Amino acid sequence: MVTITDVTQLEGREGGIFVPTMGALHDGHGSLIRDAARLRDAETAAGGQRRDVVVSIFVNRTQFNDPADYARYPKTLDADLAICKACGADVVFVPEHETVYPPGQMVAVPALPAAARLPRLEDALRPGHFEGVCQVVRRLFELVRPARAIFGEKDWQQLVVISAMTADLGLGVEIIPGPTIREFDGLAMSSRNRFLTASERVTASALWRALRAAGAEATPERGEAAMADLVRGAGLEIQYAAVRDAQTLGPVAAGRPARALIACRLGAVRLIDNAPWPTD
């Protein structure tokens, strides 16, 4: 595995399988890197050209709407590199801010797909967040030039928005979803979980219980109410609890996959999660 900061060292490595991250890696990221490595190894074993698994570590300032959140984002580079290596990465790209956003050069903010602009979900609570995400992902694609990129289902709305942006702009990168990895009690792994106190950590598993409760309800409205009741009862401050079309994030439509999505605040920490919502 090589660690590079200089973009010229990416030359000749295009066409790889890309896992973009902001560092503070945990086993959820590890799982995405292992998925990429499995894909690489299966293709190589089948006689294909060996493709690099490229992980990027870059804390992207433009997607934080709260400067305090950006300032306290954990930086754990040595541990991150150990995880990348153990999970089978070939290249870890750790660019400087100036490499991603060269001084004096405009890095375009793509027009956001419709799914990024829906009321009652992330965009309403984090204005500018998806603009920053799309801006950096498009720029990283330009620098890394991957054939495929893996994004975790944990950030479902991000996955939908990036898939739509990549298709809208014809970026030629296949977007592959990676499953959410959970703790023993169902809490989705997240870089922010480390900020929970011991008692908050116990309470936080209510999000998973809420998603499961929603799945037991027969209508989206009842699913939303069940989630809200459960997390409020556990003492969390609810930001949204919604059942939406899994691809458009609009209202649930008969015969199409649906997703339950939830966001809550617990002390100083914001938690999000989602799960498939059964439709027949």
| 103 class by beta-carbon count within 10 Å (0-12 exposed, 13-18 middle, 19+ buried) | exposed
CB 158, min distance to ligand PAF, A: 6
29 labelled catalytic: yes
Nearer to ligand PAF, 42 or 167 (CB): 167
Nearer to ligand PAF, 158 or 163 (CB): 158
CB 31, min distance to ligand PAF, A: 14
CB 57, min distance to ligand PAF, A: 9
Would you tell me which residues interact with ligand PAF (CB under 6 A)?
20-22, 60, 63, 133, 136-137, 155, 158
Nearer to ligand PAF, 157 or 203 (CB): 157
Q: Which of 26, 29, 97, 129 is catalytic?
A: 29
CB 107, min distance to ligand PAF, A: 13
Report the catalytic residues.
29
